[in-house]
Chain A
Amino acid sequence: MHEFSLMGEVLEVVRDSAREQGIRRVHRIQMTVGALGCVFPPALEQAFGILRDGDALFADATLEIEERPVRVHCNACGWSAEGADARFLCVECGANAVEVMSGEELTIDGYEGE
């Protein structure tokens, strides 16, 4: 459950930024989480629910997670695939030239508040 420490970090980043912006109530937080990132979105949501409890800044906040599938592209032959079809050795030409185009994201995109 490393999602707890990750969520704690997210809330600290937003808290620092909100202080700078003079924001007293955060309404929504947006994140992007890639499927290769070892982060389980439901566990993040659960951690969010627990960590914001009793915290005025986040009392009305919702968490929006945009999930990104793994997308790969072979730089040798141009083969590409997504999600369950993604492989890290090219299934067309066998080359060790597969690049991960997406799936490794783990970002705090932004938030809204007043």
Chain B
Amino acid sequence: MIKVRLMQKVMESNDAVAAENARKLRDAAVFSVDMMSAPGSGKTTILERTLDALIPALTIGVIQGDVDTTRDAERVQARGAQTVQINTGGACHLDAPAVAGALEDLDLDALDLLVIENVGNLICPTGFALGAHERVMVLSVTEGADKPEKYPAMFRSCSLALVNKTDLLPVLGLDLEAFAEEIARVNPDMQILPVSALTGEGMEDWYQWLRDRMAEGQ
């Protein structure tokens, strides 16, 4: 009988590929964002509006990981983003090798910004680093303010929360404060920007956040 001690992180090989992705993006001076959320919280709608606001001043690429159809990819491609769809085959998360493959299909030297729309899921994508500079969480107010406490690991892995669908706050009888408090309880360092991708309210702050982070990277 042989005992073998490994003490190896399960994510080690994914993390190695993620580091390679990050290096590629940095070498090409592309700022990148991994967008996470529950299904339907408004990632694609936020992306559409963002593309409308920032193209052509910026050249933007999008990697679409959100499950089985190409509908989201078509929505963003129509707005002038270089778009690659990852067919996850129903998988619940993107991983670094899938993103590495997608990077091959993008003209990175031409891009200023790359947005990865991860699979809509508050659990599975958490541990899978992709190599993006920042992770951004989209939490829509219709999901309720208890999500941070229920999915702390995901919230703790992201640096910014876009609290979306603020246009619905009056209908729901909720206020933003409740969301801000719940988020701070699981990730006190998380920055919070309230937005409505429908009305455009607050979106300028998000664009400015992107511009600031891109400028820091230069």
Contacts and interface: CB of A to CB of B under 8 A. Distances in A.
B128 interface: yes
By size class, the interface of chain B is 20 to 34
B9 A107 contact: yes
Contacts of A106: 9-11, 127
Given A9-B13, A89-B184, A2 B93 contact: yes
Interface of B: 1-14, 91-93, 95, 123-128, 152-154, 156, 184-189
B186 A88 contact: yes
Contact of B153 (A18, A36, A109): A36
Interface residues of A, number: 32
Contacts of A37: 127, 153
A27 interface: yes
A67 B101 CA distance: 34
Given A108-B6, A112-B1, A114-B1, A88 B93 contact: no
A8 B152 CA distance: 25
A87 B3 contact: no
Contacts of A17: 4, 6
Nearest to A23: B2
A107 B10 contact: yes
Given A9-B13, A36-B153, 4 more contacts: A2-B125, A2-B128, A88-B188, A109-B5
16 contacts: A2-B91, A2-B128, A6-B127, A9-B10, A13-B12, A36-B156, A37-B127, A88-B186, A96-B189, A98-B188, A106-B127, A107-B7, A107-B8, A111-B3, A113-B1, A113-B2
Given A89-B185, A113-B2, A2 B9 contact: no
B7 A88 contact: no
Contacts, number: 92
A38 interface: yes
Nearest to A36: B153
Contacts of A5: 91, 95
Contacts of B5: 109-110
Nearest to B5: A110
A27 to B, nearest CB: 7
A61 interface: no
Nearest to A31: B10
Contacts of A9: 10, 13-14
Given A2-B128, A10-B10, A39-B127, A87 B185 contact: yes
B108 to A, nearest CB: 26
A112 B2 CA distance: 6
Interface string A9-27: 1100110011001010001
Q: Most B CB atoms within 10 A — which of A2, A89, A98? A: A2
A1 B92 contact: yes
A98 B156 CA distance: 12
B41 to A, nearest CB: 18
Contact of B3 (A1, A18, A38, A112): A112
5 cross-chain pairs, A with B, having the tightest CB-CB distances, nearest first: A2-B124, A96-B188, A110-B5, A38-B126, A106-B10
